Structure 1
Amino acid sequence: MFKRHLTTVNARDQVAVIKAMKLVISGEITLAVTPGRNSPKSELVLQAMDTESEIDAQIGLLVATSGSTSNPKAVLLSLDAIKASIAAVADELEIPGTWHLVLPLEHVAGQMTALRGLSAQSNLEAPTINAGDPMQLATYAKTIRNNAGPNYITLVPEHLNRLALINELESLKYFDRVIIGAGRVSEPTETLIKNLGLRVTRSYGLTETCGGIVWDGKPLSNVAISLSDIGEVLVSSAMNAFGYRSSPDLNLDTIHTGDLGRFQNGRLQILGRMDRKIKHKGLFVDLDELASFIQQEFSIENAVLSEDERIWVFCQSSEISELESKLIVTFGKHLLGLEIRFMDQLPRTELGKVDNWELKTDWIKK
């Protein structure tokens, strides 16, 4: 097994990352894009990456998981897996186009967007905008209205929710495909997407699968999805990772995702995380169901977590006196004694997802 030194580039240096990505595609380097901001989690990412040690030359990218629910891990993505992912997406879209990169480059979604745009017959546009600011994103989207198509963009659901709040969701109509990953799209936003006729594709995947491998419930080419006896989603694909930096010999030919799913009309539906269905005071509680109820009933962003046999509810709002009583009336008296916290802002990852890891480390465990 031939080994080589790992090439590292900081995510904040977009130009240098894109230049390095070209060398990844040609097989000349193995790249690790290091976190763009300093934080306790960033330190954990760097530890997981072990940037000083040599690495198998078959690996194209060393990518950190988002770490939104647990400590981040460094995933080994081979060049073959990366190329298989690029090819599968190209097969699905059929027509090469321009990929617009607005996601952070330290995560797999941003890196794979860049690599698709750098691949043969495609183009890459990498504007220097903060996509977390909906007005900046909307303004940029409108600049492509006269571009020769097709135009593709990868976002997260929170981007769409924020655009809807400022009445700028329609700006996404200039993209021939808007691909969104995991997360909740609010009901009002879903309604607007349908009414505006936006071409939005829901993507499901993991860092360990080079990102999205199921689009709108349909597996991409060279992807096999199955369910275990308890309904866990299992993935076998040409895009599966080699393993992790800490355990490179781990066999990931079949990935146990930890997600529950089902097939309906031949399409995969994700029902939630297995570890989000817990036993509390002798009864089963679905934490995602609680979070969804709070979102729909009170129209507020929230996070519901379980730690030390207690259920914690974090709400991005001013205090709501009737919150606990409504949850008890709806779900049962076993929810008495919830730990409820109201916050000005929920912590978020670079991708806009609520950062449950930070809530646990900075709020619950302290």
Structure 2
Amino acid sequence: MASLRRVSTLRPLPIGPGRAAHEALPALREAVEGGPAVLPYAAGGSPVQVPDGATPDSGTALVVGTSGSTGTPKLAMLPGSSLVASATATHERLGGPGTWLLSMPPHHIAGVQVLVRSVVAGTTPGFVELEGGFTAASFVRAARALGGERRYTALVPTQLVRLLDDGAATSALTTFDAVLVGGAASAPSLLTRASDAGVRVVTTYGMSETSGGCVYDGVPLSVSRVRADELGRLVLGGATLATGYLGRPDLTAEVFTTDDDGERWFRTNDAGHLDPATGRWHVDGRLDDVITTGGLKVAPRLVEDALLALPVVGEAVVVGVPDDRWGEAVAAAVVVRAGAPAPTLEQLRDGLRGGLADHALPRRLLVVDRLPQRGPGKPDRAGIAGLFTSGP
């Protein structure tokens, strides 16, 4: 399927949760095949405001909102060719087209791509009912009703944690040929837990500007390219890139570049490296998330991974908060696993000591029922930092 677009109109498209998302399929199919570009948003809400007078680039099929790490809303313009390239390369990597189960809100890139992959594959997706929130029971019902010779779904790490905590949901997960997990970093302990349960997890890395995931299990899709610049910043290229941000040529010029060979690249704000032993890329964390405490650098992701390896911690986000003595203090917000007792700060520090440098041990702890999020699986780090006080 190829984009034949000759128009640059924009069609706001409300997409409901669960089965209501089925109503969006014809508009998405039309957009990919050359009709008006669609701007998906949550049914019952309002679309992201489009800059006055802005029209999508020729060839645009999807305009999707993204706030990145700054919280400033941007609208990435994705051509039909990029969406098709992403969907086709995904099926190629996973072993062939299949039937998809939509398990997350469909107006974000990860959710809408499940619908786009279904359009490209010519299959009818299934839907997890999300009224009242994602639950293990609703996932099990949808998984049991899903047909198809090959079956796929996509989750964020917090969803995977909840499903692995439920026996019936874990059994349902094992029936999928692949379970894509992205949107946020997956702790090694979580991936080990899923593998031990027989779940075929494929980790994904990407963003709205790359049509969603473009690196699977550390290896770029066949149509994607990855390199790291002199600062260790990850730069992504290939056929899945957006053309830029709607109505924001200034932001577009900042992060989208073209090299001397005519190849376009997107400059991320993530640090990463290529493991020469395995040939796989590793994301080390966001460049602007690094905490400087007592003059020493702390990568939040390393602390989060260590926290998630503790038996009592189900979810964790680590941020830096102002501190009169240390400049910044390492602060951990955690969700405790079902049935586990809430730990004290000293208990957590004792559990982490020896695995982390002393300066990386959390100095603040907040136990919460749910972590604030900016989008599916993406923690709202600024919001989480705001939950802490500057006191000891």
Q: Same fold (TM over 0.5)?
A: yes
Query: Does 2:299 align with 1:292?
Result: no
Per the alignment, residue 257 of structure 1 pairs with: 268
| Count of aligned residue pairs for this structure pair | 357
Q: Once the two structures are superposed, what CA deviation does each residue of 1:235-291 show, in whole Å capped at 9, x if it has no partner?
A: 111111111124245334211222222222212222222223232221112222222
Per the alignment, residue 305 of structure 1 pairs with: 319
Q: Once the two structures are superposed, what CA deviation does each residue of 1:335-358 show, in whole Å capped at 9, x if it has no partner?
A: 799444333332234524433243
Deviation at 1:325, TM superposition (A): 5.4
Query: Which deviates further from its counterpart, 93-102 or 214-223?
Result: 93-102
Query: Which deviates further from its counterpart, 106-115 or 124-133?
Result: 124-133
- 5+ residue gaps, structure 2, are 258-263, 337-341
Per the alignment, residue 102 of structure 1 pairs with: 103
The alignment's TM-score, normalised by the length of structure 2, stands at: 0.79
Per the alignment, residue 339 of structure 2 pairs with: none
Per the alignment, residue 116 of structure 1 pairs with: 117
Name the CA distance, whole Å, in 2 between partners of 1:184 and 1:276.
Answer: 13
Name the CA distance, whole Å, in 2 between partners of 1:69 and 1:327.
Answer: 33
Alpha carbons of structure 1 residues 219 and 362: separation in structure 2 relative to 1, 3 Å:
same
Q: Equivalent of 1:22, from 20, 29, 34?
A: 29
User: Percent identity over the alignment?
Assistant: 25
What does residue range 108-187 of structure 1 map to in structure 2 within 5 Å?
108-129=109-130, 132-144=134-146, 147-167=147-167, 168-185=169-186
Deviation at 1:161, TM superposition (A): 0.9
Deviation at 1:101, TM superposition (A): 1.8
Query: Which deviates further from its counterpart, 300-309 or 54-63?
Result: 300-309
Per the alignment, residue 260 of structure 2 pairs with: none
Name the CA distance, whole Å, in 1 between partners of 2:155 and 2:222.
Answer: 22
Letter of the 2:298 partner, please give it: V
- 5+ residue gaps, structure 1, are none
Name the CA distance, whole Å, in 1 between partners of 2:64 and 2:291.
Answer: 30
User: Which secondary structure does the structure 2 equivalent of 1:61 belong to?
Assistant: strand
Letter of the 2:308 partner, please give it: Q
CA RMSD of aligned residues (A): 3.2
User: Which secondary structure does the structure 2 equivalent of 1:254 belong to?
Assistant: strand
User: Which secondary structure does the structure 2 equivalent of 1:322 belong to?
Assistant: helix
What does residue range 1-366 of structure 1 map to in structure 2 within 5 Å?
4-12=8-16, 14-36=21-43, 46-47=48-49, 49-50=50-51, 53-65=54-66, 67=68, 70-129=71-130, 132-144=134-146, 147-167=147-167, 168-185=169-186, 189-248=190-249, 250=253, 251-252=256-257, 253-264=264-275, 265-297=278-310, 299-300=312-313, 301-308=315-322, 309-311=327-329, 312-316=331-335, 318=342, 320-322=344-346, 326=350, 338-360=363-385
Letter of the 1:143 partner, please give it: A
8 Å Cα contact 1:81/1:238 also seen in 2: yes
User: Which secondary structure does the structure 2 equivalent of 1:95 belong to?
Assistant: coil
8 Å Cα contact 1:101/1:113 also seen in 2: yes
Q: Once the two structures are superposed, what CA deviation does each residue of 1:126-162 show, in whole Å capped at 9, x if it has no partner?
A: 3534672112112322334xx3411111112222211
Alpha carbons of structure 1 residues 298 and 98: separation in structure 2 relative to 1, 3 Å:
closer
8 Å Cα contact 1:277/1:284 also seen in 2: yes
Letter of the 2:384 partner, please give it: L
Q: Once the two structures are superposed, what CA deviation does each residue of 1:62-106 show, in whole Å capped at 9, x if it has no partner?
A: 111255663332111112211221222233234222122222111
Deviation at 1:34, TM superposition (A): 1.8
Name the CA distance, whole Å, in 2 between partners of 1:364 and 1:32.
Answer: 39
Alpha carbons of structure 1 residues 66 and 163: separation in structure 2 relative to 1, 3 Å:
farther
Deviation at 1:18, TM superposition (A): 2.1
User: Which secondary structure does the structure 2 equivalent of 1:258 belong to?
Assistant: strand
Deviation at 1:109, TM superposition (A): 0.9
Name the CA distance, whole Å, in 2 between partners of 1:243 and 1:46.
Answer: 16
